[in-house]
Chain A
Amino acid sequence: MTIKETNTSVASVSRRRFMIDTSLAGGGLMIGLASMPNLAFAQKAPSYNPNTIMKAGDPEVNAWVNIKPDDTVVVRIARSEMGQGTRTGLAQLVAEELECDWKKVITESPTPGQSLARKRAWGEMSTGGSRGIRISEDYVRRGAAAARVMLLQAAANELNVPVAELKVDKGVITHTPSGRKTTYGKVSEAASKLTPPDPKSITLKDPKTWKVAGQPLARLDTADKVNGKKVFGADLQLPGMLCAAVKACPVFGGKLVSFDEAKVKNLRGVKGVVKVNDFTVAVVADTWWRAKTALDVLPIVWDEGKGSNTSSPDIEKMLRAGLEETGDFWQRKEGDAVTEIKNSARQVEAIYYTPYRSHVNMEPMNATVRIGNDRAEAWVPTQNGEASHAALAEAAGLPLDKCEVFKLDPGTGLGRRGGTQEYVGQAVAIAKQFPGVPIKMLWSREEDMTHDYYHPIAMAKMSAGLDSNGNITGMHIKVAGQSINATVSPMAIKDNKDVRQLQGFYAEPGDAQFGYKFPSLLTEYVMKNTHVPVGPWRGVNTNQNGLFMECFMNECAVAAKKDPLAYRQAVMKDFPKHLAVLNAAAKKANWGSPLPAGVHRGIAQFMGYASYSACVAEVSVTGNIVTIKRLVFALNSGHVVNPWLVREQIEGSVVMAMGAIFNPEITVENGRIKQTNFDSYPLIKLASTPITECVLVPTNDFWGGVGEPTICVVGPAIVNAISTALGRPMRNFPLSKENLTLA
C-alpha cells in the first residue's frame, strides 16, 4: 500500500491561508479573512448550497468520489451547472460505475485553484458547446470505476477474502460465500490509501446495462430553487462587502474622457467613483441600489469614437454587398456548382437575413472580487472556472496559485459566461482600488443588454439549380456576416477563412455534418466585421445556418412541386443518422396525415454538437397572427444520460428559438445598441409557448450534446409551416419584417 500522491496535494491545499467553510449551519458564508471586517450584511437564507463548492482537504477515495462514514457519496463535478442538468447527469454516470446508492449521492465542485494545485485532476472546466457530459464522460466514468475497484479491494482486505468473492449493490458489499457484509462508507478511508488502478485498465459498463444512468431521475439541486435559498452571484453578501455598478461607453470602441465625481460623492452610501478601464466607470457604495442610483446621475463625458458613425442600415448594406463580392471565400467545393446551377432547367435563389441577438441571461452579469496583499479571490457565475481564474490572475497581476475562484451556478449562461470573461476583469479593476474589501460588481439589465457579445448578424444568398424533374443539381451557399472568432479568438481564423461561421455545412462526420448530398456544392463565407462584439449564443452558428438551409430546402421543394419530407429524404441516403432522425420526427408527427382546416406543417433537420435533430411544426396563421399548435422533435444524442433533462433542454431550446424568429431584434443606432431592457427587447412568455413533444432516438454508439442541438431546427420548422400557410417564403427575421406576430 502506498499513500497516493494526490492526497498529499490535498493536504497542501488545506493549508491555504484562506479557507471557505460551507458547513456552518444558517450562519451565512464565513470566510477566514486575515482580519474580519464588520458584518455589514446578514444573509438570512442559508449560504452556499452544499452542491456548490468542494471543501479543500476533505478525505476522498479519489478526485471524483468521497464517501463519508455514513455512506453519503459526494461526487465531484468540475463542469458548471446553469440549468442544463449537467451536475445531475455527471453524477448519474459516476453512480452507475461506482455501484453506489443514488439516494445517498450529493455533489460538490472543486475550485479552479484546487484543480491547478493537483495538476488539473478534474480536467477542463469549460461548459459550453454542449460538451459538459460528452467531453468528460470517459474520464469521469473511469474515475468512478477506479473508486469502485479500490473500495472493493479495501473490503477484501478487511474481510480477508479474495476480491472476486465480493459483490456490491447500492454501496453494500457482500462476501457471497459467507454472507458477511460491509459498506462503502466503512471501507472508504482504507480504500483511499490503496494504489489506484490504471484508469485505462478499466472496462466501463455497456450503456445497455445501465441502471442509474439513462433514467429520468430527479435533479439533485431543485429544492433550493423553489424557496429562494439558492444563492446566485448577484445575491452574494460577504462580510464588509461593498457593491459596484458599472457603465461602459455606450458605443463599442469609445473611450471614457472624464466624470464628475463631486456630483455624486456625497450621495448616501457612496464610497467612491472609480475608473475601471479606458472605457468604463464604476460607482462603489454600501448597497448596489445606491451605487446604481448614483451612477445614473453621474455626469460622464465619452469619446464615442468612430463606431458612432455606424447604424443598423449601414451594417445590413455591408452584408448585402458582401453577398455580391467575389473572392477566395470558399470552404467546400464539390464539382462546379456555379456552372451546374447556371446550366440547370431552373434556378432557385433566395436571400435571407438574421439579426443580432442578445443573451439576456436572467441573472445579469456579475462577479465579486477581493484583492488581498498577495492573494486575489473571486466569486463568479461562470461557464468556465478556469477561464475566470485566468482572467482574475491577469487583472490582479498575480500568479494563478495566488488566486482562487469560487464558482456559483449561473442564472443561465447561454454562451455569455464562458470565453468572454471581461466582467471578471472589471470587478478586479474596481476591487484593486478597495484593497481587502470584497466588491460585488453587478450590471444593471440595461448594461447587460447593451454590452453583450451578441449572436452574430448574417445574411445568406442561397442558390440551387433544379433539373426537369425538380432534383437539385447544384447548391451554392454564400454567407456574409460577422465572425465570432474575429471577436473572441482571432487566432482560429486561418487565411481569412473562418470555418466556424459555416457550422453545420461541414463534410466531416461527427460534429456538425451537412446531411445532404448534391451533385455539386459550393459553400462560401464572406467575413464582414463591425465594431459590435459578437460571441457564442446557444446553438451558435447552427441557428442562422439551419434557418438558411432548411428554409431554402423548402423553397426548392415548393419549386419542384414535391413534398418537403420526400424531397429531403431523396438526398439523405448517404447520411443514415440524419435521415433516421428526420423520419422519426415525421412519424411521430404523422407527416402527411390530414390536418384541421387552417393548420399547416413545416419540417426541418440539421446537425450540431455531435447530435442529430429534426422538428415538425404545425401552425395556423390568421391575419398576421401566427399560432404554433404543435411541435414534434426527434433527437439522436448517441447516449441519453437523463431523458427527463434532455426533454427539458429541448423544451427550453424551443422558447429561445421562437424568440429569435419572432421577437424584436437587437439594432445599432449611432454605434450603440438601441434596446435596453425587456420593454424594447421582449422575450417569449408562457402564453405563446406550445406543447413540445419529443421522441428520443439514441443509437448508443456515440456521445452527442443536448443543450444546443435542437435549437436550430425549431425556427425553420415553424417558418416552413408559415410559408406553406401563406404560400410565400419567409426570408427576413424577425418575422415582424414579414408583418407577422406571434399569438
Chain B
Amino acid sequence: MQLTVNNQVHNIDVEPNMPLLWAIREIIGLTGTKYGCGIAQCGACTVYMNGEPVRSCSIPVSAVGSMKITTVEALSADNSHPIQKAWIALDVPQCGYCQSGQVMAAAALLKRIPKPTDADIDNAMSNICRCGTYQKIRDGIHVASGKKKLADVLAQYEASPKTRG
C-alpha cells in the first residue's frame, strides 16, 4: 500500500482497517497528530486529505488511496504559517496536546474563509480543548486573518508587544 504524507510517498504494509491516524503515528512515525478519542469527536487527529481537514482516527488507511495527506508537521517548515505565528504571539496553547488539531482546523478555516467572523469561527472550530484555550483560539484566528491587530488584542489583556518580552 502506498500513502502520500507531506509530499513523501511511503510504502507501508498494514491492515486495511488501520485508521489513518495510527498509520501516520506508528508506521510512518509522525507523532504531531494526536490520539484523543478515536471516534472523530475531539479533533486532536485533524489532518488534511487533498487539502480538506479530516479526523484521521476514523478513516481507514485503505480509504485514502492516492489522496495526499498533510500533517501538522508540514503546515510550514518554520512556524511561519499565519496561524502558527498568531498562536505563538498570543501563547494560545496551554498544555498543547490538542493544539496540532486546533492549528490544522484553524488554518483550514482561513483557507476557506480568509477573514472569518465570530460565527464562522464558532461553526468551524469544534475541536475539544480541556485546558479551555478557546478565547485565545478565537483571538488567534482574528489576528492571523488580519481582522484584528496583534497590538490591539494584546492591549485587551493589558499587554503590549514590548511587555511580552
Contact = CB atoms under 8 A, between A and B. Distances in A.
Bound pair: A and B?
A: yes
B7 interface: no
A485 B11 CA distance: 53
Q: Which DSSP category, helix, strand, loop or mixed, fits chain A's interface?
A: loop
Contacts of A174: none
11 contacts: A83-B93, A102-B165, A222-B93, A225-B96, A226-B87, A228-B73, A412-B130, A651-B136, A655-B134, A684-B132, A686-B127
Given A362-B42, A691-B135, 5 more contacts: A363-B97, A655-B129, A686-B122, A687-B123, A689-B132
Contacts of A643: 157-159
Nearest to B135: A651
Interface in B133-165: 133-138, 157-159, 163-165
A656 B100 contact: no
Contacts of A689: 132, 134-135, 138
A653 interface: yes
B100 A216 contact: no
Interface of A: 41-45, 82-85, 102-103, 215-219, 221-232, 234-235, 237, 243, 268, 287-289, 360-364, 409-412, 414, 442, 444-445, 643-645, 647-648, 651-656, 677-679, 682-687, 689, 691-692
Contact of B22 (A287, A412, A691): A287
Nearest to B121: A686
Interface in B71-89: 71-73, 75-76, 79, 83-84, 87-89
A683 B32 contact: no
B63 interface: no
A240 B98 CA distance: 28
A655 B132 contact: yes
B66 interface: no
Contact of A45 (B32, B79, B83): B32
Contacts of B92: 222, 226
Interface pairs A-B: 7 shortest CB-CB: A228-B32, A655-B132, A411-B97, A83-B94, A83-B95, A225-B96, A652-B132
B96 A445 contact: no
Contact of A222 (B18, B88, B123, B132): B88
B42 to A, nearest CB: 6
A216 B91 CA distance: 11
Interface string B5-30: 00000000001001100100111111
Given A222-B87, A226-B79, A232-B97, A654 B37 contact: no
B35 interface: yes
A685 B134 CA distance: 8
A84 B122 CA distance: 25
Contacts of B30: 44-45, 228
A415 B38 CA distance: 24
B114 to A, nearest CB: 19
Interface of B: 15, 18-19, 22, 25-39, 41-42, 44, 71-73, 75-76, 79, 83-84, 87-89, 91-100, 103, 121-123, 125-138, 157-159, 163-165
Pick the most buried of B37, B88, B125, B163: most chain A CB atoms within 10 A of its CB.
Answer: B37
B40 to A, nearest CB: 9
Given A45-B30, A216-B157, A678-B41, A361 B164 contact: no
B31 A677 contact: no
B100 A228 contact: yes
A44 B29 contact: yes
A445 B142 CA distance: 32
A362 B165 contact: no
A43 B28 CA distance: 8
Contacts of B31: 43-45, 228, 231, 235, 237
A234 B93 contact: no
B71 A217 contact: no
Contact of A692 (B123, B131, B135): B135
Contact of B79 (A217, A227, A682): A227
A656 B132 contact: yes
Nearest to B22: A289
A221 B87 CA distance: 12
B95 A409 contact: yes
A153 to B, nearest CB: 29
B126 A685 contact: yes
Nearest to B5: A44
Contact of A84 (B94, B99, B129): B94
A290 B33 CA distance: 18
A103 B162 CA distance: 13
Contact of B42 (A231, A289, A678): A678
Contacts of A678: 37, 39, 41-42, 128
